[in-house]
Structure formats: structure tokens, C-alpha cells
Structure 1
């Protein structure tokens, strides 16, 4: 999960939510993390 935080500049809480929502589908997590960044 720290990989998501470091790679996509999201909070640990956001990273946990992404993993909870998408499981181990890293492609979906990456796409969702990019959308988080766009919303900032």
C-alpha cells in the first residue's frame, strides 16, 4: 500500500480505500489513484 501512496501522491487513507474497493487489481487502483490526483 505504501507503493500507492508514494507513486500516486495520495493519503494512506485514500490508498486503503482504493485497495478495499479494487482488491489486488493494480491497474484499476492506478486509474482510480490518478482520478484522486485530478480532483485535488
Structure 2
């Protein structure tokens, strides 16, 4: 999963480390939207 964050950029990766819980929820929703897109 982290390779996706690496591609997104260092800033996003830093945001993930700073806001772990909030980004975890956001990532969950994002992955669900990704599944719907597929």
C-alpha cells in the first residue's frame, strides 16, 4: 500500500505520518472508491 503513497509524493507521505487515524479513514474511503472505479 505504501508504494502508492510514495508515487503520490513525499508531502502526502508526511501527511500520512502526521495524521495517521484521519488519513487511514480517508484511505479506506479512497480504496472503496477505487474498487467502484474498477
More helix, by proportion: 2
TM-score (norm 2): 0.49
The higher relative CO (CA closer than 8 Å, separation ≥ 6) is in 1
Q: Whose Rg is larger?
A: 2
- TM value normalised by structure 1: 0.47
